[in-house]
Structure 1
Amino acid sequence: MERVRQLIGEMLVCFFAVLLLTGGFLAFFHVPSDEMVPYSGSYEPLRGTLMSDAYASALNISLDVRGGLLIRQLHHTSSILLVAGTILWLLLGRFRYALVALGLGALAALSGYGAVDDLLSGAVLGKVPVPLWYGLHLLTVLAVGAVLVVSSRKEAARRPRTPALIALSIGLAVLAVLSF
């Protein structure tokens, strides 16, 4: 059971690495601003519609940036798998780290959702400014990464990783991300 928990912990690190890579790509194109601008992208039915700059940039990433929708979907899928894997990790017995990672992961997901500023986030999450959501998202992502790295290092100190475990965790993480 300890090896399964360690395997899931390693997979969580892989999911987090995918989140960092896709999030870095998305950060180049995302505009964390709640300033209202007319939409000027390629989706004709929305052209001229007033929306926040953050939401317009999300539409721009999805529709106009090459590979942008794929990257957004990979980011979203990896975040779901990270939370689901953390719940499984919690059930297998790493309560201290898993509870912290689960709480931070939920906060990171909520703040990432608020940073896009679609219509539902304004209704559900309140009128918190988009730059604050974006800043909170970046801070919680760093905290989740720190928890995963510390936990992974402590697991490896108790029971060293083998090349087979690392290869299996990377393979399963890639399979999970691509098949989800």
Structure 2
Amino acid sequence: MERARQLVGEMLIYCFVVVLLTGGFLTFFYTPSGQLTPYDGSYEPLRGVMMSEAYESALTTSFEVRGGALMRQLHHQSSVLLVIGAVVWALLGRLRHTLALLGLGLSLLGGLTGYGSVDDLLSGTVLGKLPIPFWYGLHLLAALAMGVVLVISARREAARDPRTAAFTALGLGLVVLVIFWL
């Protein structure tokens, strides 16, 4: 059971790397502002609709940046996989590992703040009243903390039971398979 838990932890690291790389790409086109602006992009049905600059930048990335929609989808799917993997990781440890529970909480917080920073699903709710730069900053802090948790946990588990090349390849292959399966 511990080896399966270690494999899930390894997969979480690879998912996190995909989230970081796609998030880094998306950062170049993102505007963390809640100021209202009319949409003037290429998606005709929304042209002229007032929306936050954050949401407009997400739409522009999806419709006008080459590979933007793919990067947004990969970022979202890897984030969902990160949350699901964190749940499995915590359950395989029978909820006794503090780092696994912290990782689960951070992955959930990262998902919530990701939606808040784009002003997508939380807009118009009580949580939507918080400013978008707050959500974006919290999203970046949650990502940083999740990276620290995963690195610490991976080092501890590798010290107890070292990884082999086949084990690493299995983890990487499973992540690629699951990301493209979702």
Q: How would you bin the TM-score normalised by the shorter chain? A: over 0.9
**2: CA distance between counterparts of 1:163 and 1:3?**
14
Question: What one-letter code is carried by the residue in structure 2 that aligns with 1:66?
Answer: R
Match in the other structure for 1:68: 68
**1: CA distance between counterparts of 2:167 and 2:65?**
37
**2: CA distance between counterparts of 1:126 and 1:58?**
17
Match in the other structure for 1:144: 146
- For structure 2, the residue ranges without an aligned partner over 5 or more in a row are none
**1: CA distance between counterparts of 2:137 and 2:90?**
27
After superposition, where does 1:84-163 map in structure 2 within 5 Å? 84-93=84-93, 95-118=97-120, 120-124=121-125, 125-163=127-165
Question: What one-letter code is carried by the residue in structure 2 that aligns with 1:87?
Answer: V
* Aligned Cα root-mean-square deviation (Å): 0.9
1:42 aligns with 2:24: no
CA deviations 1:149-180 (Å, max 9, x no partner) are 00000000011111110000000011111111
**2: CA distance between counterparts of 1:126 and 1:19?**
24
What's the offset of the Cα at 1:97?
Answer: 1.1
Question: What one-letter code is carried by the residue in structure 2 that aligns with 1:126?
Answer: G
**2: CA distance between counterparts of 1:46 and 1:109?**
26
**1: CA distance between counterparts of 2:128 and 2:110?**
17
**2: CA distance between counterparts of 1:115 and 1:21?**
18
What's the offset of the Cα at 1:48?
Answer: 1.3
TM-score between the two structures when normalised by the length of structure 2: 0.96
Secondary structure of 1:126's match? Answer: helix
CA deviations 1:105-125 (Å, max 9, x no partner) are 11111111000012x412232
Secondary structure of 1:121's match? Answer: coil
User: Is the 8 Å Cα contact of residues 116 and 128 (structure 2) preserved in structure 1?
Assistant: no
Secondary structure of 2:123's match? Answer: helix
TM-score between the two structures when normalised by the length of structure 1: 0.97
What's the offset of the Cα at 1:95?
Answer: 2.4
Secondary structure of 1:29's match? Answer: coil
Match in the other structure for 1:58: 58
Q: Report how many aligned residue pairs link the two structures.
A: 179
Match in the other structure for 1:166: 168
What's the offset of the Cα at 1:52?
Answer: 0.4
- For structure 1, the residue ranges without an aligned partner over 5 or more in a row are none
**1: CA distance between counterparts of 2:129 and 2:24?**
26
